[in-house]
Structure 1
């Protein structure tokens, strides 16, 4: 993972990873463990949620002539969107975003 940033407005984390050295599935897990601050063994297996081989192929592709290709799925209670341009976007569930706004708390 090259970077992990959080937008306070959208409450979405964005992680950029090196597609030449990191598989997409590993990038997703790395971003989630950084956000949650947990050991990877505490997470559900990603392959129970999404076909990891297909997800990794997305990361090796460069999109289409019309732009990047995105895949979205839920994992560990978060909405995950992976783009073929090497970005993983992670958002908390809508009810948590509302609670964060109401209390003024942040996920940082």
Structure 2
């Protein structure tokens, strides 16, 4: 897992501000169990910061994805995010069981 200090340093080096909203989204992803959908991130972040906006969550996740902080995974027709693990990249495909409608 990428440490908060590394993310803070990466944000600063790339010229991005460290905002409370970004820290809350980062903490939410870091404390989540594996993949989290945008709505899940938003609901959890809103509990910690009631003024959180869904657009802020989308922008923050997109920024973090671009910086390599989070990994985006498509599961079914939804995008999920998880904190990037060093040296790991997701496979270029997803598997699902059509008979039982199971997805990883």
TM over 0.5: no
TM-score normalized by structure 1?
Answer: 0.29
- Greater helix content: 2
- Greater strand content: 1
TM-score normalized by structure 2?
Answer: 0.29
